[in-house]
């Protein structure tokens, strides 16, 4: 959440000639959510890869953050794992995020996913750009 507001400030800086900080990585909460979803299905990376018709090496690279796939590739992974990406106006984000959290709280098998969704997001973000850049 805080992250979104900081991006807003960056937008204002852009108007003054500053370049935004390029992301260059999939947010770790998304990566973790996808790993969890895969494991909950009892699939290995090889299982998922063959379902998608792509190489296991890519699943590994994507999950670890070493590869940032094209949007279409990621979307297909996301959908294969029973999720979807929804384009949401920024001011709706908190509501939708909480909906998603509440929904997972209601799913016995997916309840464990909730803390990863929020906490890991804030924890991993400041660290991993350093590793990648």
Partner DNA sequence: CAATTTGATACCTTATAGTGAATCATATAC
Partner DNA sequence: GTATATGATTCACTATAAGGTATCAAATTG
User: Residues in the site for its own copies, rule: CB under 8 A?
Assistant: 4, 7, 11, 14-15, 19-20, 22-26, 29-30, 33, 50-53, 68-76, 78-80, 82-93, 95-97, 99-100, 103-104, 107, 110
Residues of span 30-89 touching DNA by CB under 7 A = 39, 44-47, 53-58, 60-64, 66-70, 73
Residue 2 site contact among its own copies, DNA, none (CB < 5 to 8 Å, cut-off depends on kind): none
Query: How many C-beta neighbours within 10 Å does residue 104 have?
Result: 20
Exposure string over 65-100, b if 16+ CB within 10 A, otherwise e = beeebeeeebebbbebbeeeeeeeeeeeeeeeeeeb
Cα separation, 7 vs 30, whole angstroms: 18
Q: Which does 129 bind (CB under 5 to 8 A by kind): DNA, its own copies, none?
A: none
How far is it, in rounded angstroms, from Cα 80 to Cα 56? 15
If contact means CB under 5 to 8 A according to the sort of partner, which of DNA, its own copies, none does residue 118 touch? none
Q: Which residues bind DNA (CB under 7 A)?
A: 22, 39, 44-47, 53-58, 60-64, 66-70, 73
């Amino acid at each position: 959440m805080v992250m979104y507001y900081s991006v807003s400030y960056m937008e204002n800086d852009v108007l003054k000639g500053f370049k935004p900080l390029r992301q260059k990585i999939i947010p770790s909460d998304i990566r973790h959510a996808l790993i969890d979803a895969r494991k909950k299905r009892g699939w290995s990376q090889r299982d998922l890869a063959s379902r998608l018709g792509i190489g296991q090496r890519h699943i590994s690279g994507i999950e670890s953050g070493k590869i940032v796939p094209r949007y279409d590739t990621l979307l297909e992974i996301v959908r294969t794992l029973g999720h979807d990406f929804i384009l949401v106006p920024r001011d709706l984000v908190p509501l939708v995020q909480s909906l998603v959290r509440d929904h997972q709280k209601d799913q016995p098998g997916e309840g464990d996913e909730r803390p990863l969704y929020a906490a890991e997001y804030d924890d991993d973000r400041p660290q991993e750009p350093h590793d990648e850049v």
